[in-house]
Amino acid sequence: MRRLLPVLLLLAVPYMLPGQNAVIEKWDESFRLQGPSSGVHNVSVSITVYNKDGLMQATPVLYTDSFRSIASFKAETVDAGSHKVKAGKKDLSTASISSSLADDGFVSVYTPSGRFPIRVDYEYSIRYHNGVISFPIFSPLAGEKVEIREASYRLDLPEGTEITSYSNNVTALPPSASKGREIHEWTVKDFPALVGESMMPSIREMIPQVFAAPVTFSFSGIDGSQRNWQESGRWLYSLQEGADVLPEETVKELQEMTRGCQGSLEKLQIMYSRLRERTRYVSIQLGIGGFKPISATDVEKRGFGDCKALSNYLRAMLKAVGVPSYYYIINTDKPQVKKDFFSVSQMNHAMLAVPLPELDDTVYVECTNPIYPLGYRHSGAAGHDVVFVSPSGGQLIRIPSYPDSLSRTVRKTHTELHPDGSADFSVERKLYLDYVEPYLGFADMKPETREKKLTAGYGIQHRDFKIGGVSDNFSEYCSRGKDFCPEMTILYSFSTRQYARREGPRLFVSTNPVKYSIAYQRGERVNDIVIDEPFTTVDSIYVKIPEGYEVESLPPAVALDREWASFRSEAGQEGDGVLIIQSMTFNRLRADKSEYPGFRDFIRSVNKGYDTTIVLKQHE
């Protein structure tokens, strides 16, 4: 949300269309585990689609790789004109998931069509072979305004098979046993359609889902256990053994590079720079590549690797110069792991942690994008649960988050206003913490990209855009340690032919050239109110009064305070101009939908406070 400022389509207009997009009449999904490394996944769906927005729900998406293949597929579509279309496996559109040559994943899609409403029935079967580390995820809903009449998920396992699982918004039936098989089943009945609104709870906590995995498993011929994080981590570590060895000549080179270093931090800085200079990120998912890193020697030779390989490579370089580090896995999209579900499949990324006793801190290093300042815990890591991997197994910890108050952007604008209503702007923009992230590598961006980033949100047509300077504190971690917060300052200028509106002897001037307007919902609220990304914006605008003009009126001061937000706006004459200071802060919030009227009133007041005008009058 905060990255879209200052456009402030942040709290976007709710997407609400009358009626439903689709109804899932029946959804039957099952997985039969045939042995430790093989199984069959079956899906059978009947759905009625009322409009094009519901088509996504009726579009089956099949994923395959070296562990999964399509056994069968068929579909039938009947539209409002009773036109019937049948489809088979040959009608699937298949494409590689990645453009990388080192990725064996494919996605196959069938998109039904016809005159709405249409009825879609499809079923398919996916064979698992060479390993089952997790069972298919049951998550029937693909969008809002889709009702589920009836859905079920069934695991058919050899008797005695232990599982680790997590479920949400489903009914779990008691396990049953028959003929040497054990059945686990979850059902959904008459699940109401979800309505999308701004600032609503995460969709993941609202939809029916089941995640399950075998406690003991065989994957690509390697046995493992995920009874708890310790055992899951032990299996991951077994895949890394021997992978952190570098060629002897490389070790000697690294040791020579760090000769004379005063401590671990200095060595880390040198190795991090070498990682940046010598490698690039490439997704590698061949075979067991989804979990096993390619060797540090191969990365050294080839100059590329995925998150696992690059993290392991940096670990190997640090090991060569006597600096210990820890490989860990993380889900960059979801801060918290699912409780009591210990499968490594719920993680999507690997990084490296480097303890620095001299600074009483641990650096969490993003190895796939070394453009991040060393010592910065980026937004996909700060506050996230991670699993450290070591010979003794996995350890679940949480990466420290930053104080909410550090996430802010501050803009100082000097406006040279002219009698004809045109204006020249000089801006100093300061970015802090995760506001910095979209601007990393700013110097290497195309000129038009830089201009677009810096002028987004202005309610005026600009011209003569120039960047006056860019500075940052990215090298200051060594002096600040755990208190390091990345900062970036950008100076730029531009002009506009029409900023103030002229009417007779008066000029009507917007108090802020940035058009802040927070959309709100006028109708009845359906979901609770959630703000999970706090942010602060501060604008200081100085408008120099054109010669021959004087202030006739200034907007009144505004001070709004709630437990979860605040807004300030004040304007006063200062020297030969007017100084306007406006600030807005949103804190974390989770409130019942019944409180929305008060929330809406606050938003209206904030919009009114931003949409104010200075009136200048020409001397008589």
Q: For 219-261, how does the pLDDT look when each residue is reduced to its tens digit (9 = 90+)? A: 888 999 999 999 999 999 999 989 999 999 999 999 999 999 9
Please state the φ and ψ torsions of residue 201, each to the nearest 5 degrees. Answer: -60, 160
- If one compares 469 and 198, the residue with the highest pLDDT of the two is 469
The mean of the pLDDT values for the chain is 92
The percentage of residues in the chain with a pLDDT greater than 90, rounded to a whole number, is 81
Residue ranges matching CATH 2.60.120.1130 in the chain: 404-618
- Whether the per-residue pLDDT at 98 is higher than 90: the answer is no
Sign of CA dihedral 559, 560, 562, 567: negative
Tens of pLDDT, residues 46-57:
999 999 999 999
Location of each CATH 2.60.40.3140 domain in the chain: 22-224
Helix axes 307-320, 248-257, angle to 10 degrees: 70
Reduced to 3 states, what is the DSSP secondary structure of residue 568?
Answer: strand
577 pLDDT exceeds 50? yes
Of 56-60, 305-309, 568-572, 587-591, the one with minimum mean pLDDT is 305-309
pLDDT in tens, 410-464: 999 999 999 999 999 999 999 999 999 999 999 899 999 999 999 999 989 999 9
**Residue 290: per-residue pLDDT:** 73
Residues in the chain, overall count:
620
How many whole angstroms separate alpha carbon 14 and alpha carbon 519? 8
- Report the alpha-carbon distance of residue 518 to residue 13 in Å, rounded: 9
Spelled out in words, what is the top-level CATH class assigned to the domain 404-618? mainly beta
**pLDDT value of position 99:** 41
Burial class (CB in 10 A: 0-12, 13-18, 19+), 131: buried
Cis amide linkage into residue 293, ω under 30° from 0: no
Q: Is the pLDDT of residue 103 over 60?
A: no
What band does 97 get if pLDDT is binned at 50, 70 and 90?
A: low
Residue type, 90: K
SS3 state at 466: strand
pLDDT above 70: percentage of residues in the chain: 95
For tokens 């390697």, the residue is: 222
> Positive or negative, the Cα torsion across 450, 451, 455, 457?
negative
% helix, strand, coil for the chain, step of 5: 20, 40, 40
Tell me how crowded residue 526 is: count the other CB atoms within 10 A of its CB: 16
The first and second tokens of residue 550, run together, are 């004087």
Strand partners, 416: 424, 544
pTM over 0.75: yes
Q: In what order do the strands lie in the sheet with 506-510?
A: 501-503, 506-510, 613-618, 549-553
Look at residue 16 and tell me whether its pLDDT is greater than 90.
Answer: no
Average pLDDT over residues 106-125: 94
* pLDDT score of 331 more than 70: yes
**Residue closest to 500 by CA, chosen among 574, 401, 578:** 578
Question: Which residue, among 268, 275, 260, 271, has the nearest Cα to 358 in the 3D structure?
Answer: 268
As a whole number of angstroms, the distance between CA 376 and CA 472 comes to 13
pLDDT for 150 equals 98
Each residue of 369-391: pLDDT tens digit?
A: 888 999 999 999 999 999 999 99
CA dist 281 and 130 (Å) reads: 27
The CATH number of the structural domain formed by 226-398 is 3.10.620.30
* Residue ranges of the chain assigned to CATH 3.10.620.30: 226-398
The reply to whether omega before 391 is within 30° of 0 (cis) is no
Closest CA to 35 of 193, 140, 142, 180: 180
- Quick check: 541 pLDDT over 90? yes
Q: pLDDT for 143-165, tens place per residue?
A: 899 999 999 999 999 999 999 99
Residue 438 carries which side chain, given as an amino acid letter? Answer: P
pLDDT for 101 beyond 60? no
Q: What's the sign of the alpha-carbon dihedral 542, 548, 550, 555?
A: negative
| Chain position carrying tokens 């506050």 | 383
pLDDT surpassing 90 at residue 604: yes
Specify which residues 386 forms β-bridges with: 330, 397
Decide if pLDDT at 286 tops 90.
Answer: no
User: Strand, helix or coil at 443?
Assistant: helix
Query: Taking the C-alpha atoms of 316, 319, 321 and 323 in order, what is their torsion angle to the nearest 10 degrees?
Result: 130
What tens digit of pLDDT does each residue of 400-425 get? 999 999 999 999 999 999 999 999 99
What kind of fold does domain 22-224 have according to CATH?
A: Immunoglobulin-like (2.60.40)
pLDDT at residue 288, as a whole number: 58
| 3-class secondary structure, 587 | coil
Q: How confident is the model at residue 2 (pLDDT cuts 50, 70, 90)?
A: very low
Q: Which of 284, 335, 325, 286 is nearest to 308 (CA)?
A: 284
Residue 127, pLDDT > 80, answer yes
Q: What is the pLDDT of residues 27-49, one digit of tens each?
A: 999 999 999 899 999 999 999 99
130: region left, alpha or beta (phi > 0 left; psi from -120 to 50 alpha): left
Q: What is the DSSP string of 519-547?
A: ----S---S-EEE-S-EEEEEEEEEEPPT
pLDDT category of residue 106 using cuts at 50, 70 and 90: confident
